[in-house]
Amino acid sequence: MRNFDRFILTATLLVGLGCGQADPATLPVSGRPASDPESGSLQPTLPVTTVAVESGSIEQHISAPGSLKARRESRIGAEVRGRIQTIFVREGDRVEAGAELFQIDPAPYEFNLRQVEAGLDLARAERKQIEADLARADQLYSRDIVSSDELARMKTQVTVARARERQAQESVAMARHNLEQTLVVAPYGGSIAARLVDEGTTALVQPQTTVVVLQETTQLEAEAHIPESQLSTVRVGDPAMIHVQGLGQAIETTVAVVGDTIDPATRTYHVRMLVDNADHRLKAGVFAHIDITPRVKTDVMLVPREAVRSEDGQTRVLVVRDGRAVPVQVELGIVDESRAEVLSGLTADDAIIVGTAAREIAPGMRVRVVAPKQAEPAT
């Protein structure tokens, strides 16, 4: 009986100790439990490392695939309908501005011109005759031989005759224009990228029959598509390097155009650079790899890249305020391999949480700032 009493006493003491002991998971690093004033429960205080917001300079190299395109490309047809009589160029030919490209059979337009020229001669003769009749009627009117009504009628006939003559002149001008359009010339210097029909084809105006495709290739355009996340990065005038397979060295140029719209399908915008091609060593359509070096931005607010979190469509960093990890939404500018430019959301006094804690701890957790661990010296 004495052994049984001793067993009961021992069990009672163990139960009492277990009920009074704090859960180790709720103890902070200091060993004293931290209470949550809102819930009244115990909450751990996690050690974190922080850095101050830095002011400095940053630049970013942007690499993107692209292609070289003709600065201008025109699908050239005829302004008048007719049978194509002669095509003067072949695919691959280089032509100067004003060079003859193809000829529509001019015979129907020459015939039409002669017709309207004859009509102009007739209208001119009728106008002269009526003007002469009016001059005689004026003399007779002064002698009371012709009435005022007759004189007014003849003046109206002169006005109508002059209008018909002008109408005939416009018909002649249009006929001459149509005849001139039967010979089609290059609007600018370039290369014949394609010849799509042969002699004997009837060229239509609507829809227009494309006879040749002309490209301006003495100067090309390099085009690249940049992610919208770097919308504020690229500026006109930024230096760029264009790498084309087969060329010994990269082509130096600058950004000439920055697009104003975002492609909703790819979430990118386009930039263009001019590339000199006077020796025609480059071909339109060739693939290129493009490196753009935006201008250095100075005196900007910087934070370590590892401190930035992207959650629920928002970009945030954690800062220490009143002993807690507080999420702060930020707007970023340039981001390089180790730092990120902060355009808005932070102040120079904020303590930014970095390291593993920046990625893993939950917003609102109680934290205490500790010094970063020093690397052990090599032995």
Q: What is the pLDDT of residues 46-92, one digit of tens each?
A: 899 999 998 888 877 788 899 999 999 999 999 999 999 999 999 99
For the segment 17-41, what is each residue's pLDDT rounded down to a tens digit? 344 443 333 333 333 444 444 444 4
Rounded to whole angstroms, what are the CA distances from 16 to 8, 22, 23, 24, 141?
13, 12, 15, 17, 142
Residue 211: name the closest of 285, 101, 108 by CA.
Answer: 101
CATH architecture of the domain 74-185 equals Up-down Bundle (1.20)
The residue behind tokens 């931290």 is 34
Residue 365, H or E segment: none
Residue 352, H or E segment: strand 351-354
Domain 63-71+217-296 has CATH 2.40.30.170: yes
For the segment 179-235, what is each residue's pLDDT rounded down to a tens digit? 999 999 999 999 999 999 999 999 999 889 999 999 999 999 999 998 887 776 788
Its pTM stands at 0.60
In CATH, what class is 45-59+298-369? mainly beta
The average confidence (pLDDT) of the chain is 85
For the segment 275-295, what is each residue's pLDDT rounded down to a tens digit? 999 888 898 889 999 999 877
- Distance CA(148)–CA(91), nearest Å, equals 72
Peptide bond into 227 cis (omega under 30): no
* Residue 338 DSSP one-character state: S
- Distance CA(192)–CA(74), nearest Å, equals 10
Half-sphere exposure of 78 (CA within 13 A, CB side): 31
| Cβ atoms of 47 and 365 closer than 8 Å | no
Which of 131-135, 147-151, 352-356, 371-375 bottoms out in mean pLDDT, i.e. has the lowest? 371-375
Segment 133-141 shows an average pLDDT of 88
Q: Where are the domains of the chain?
A: 45-59+298-369, 63-71+217-296, 74-185
Segment 360-373 shows an average pLDDT of 85
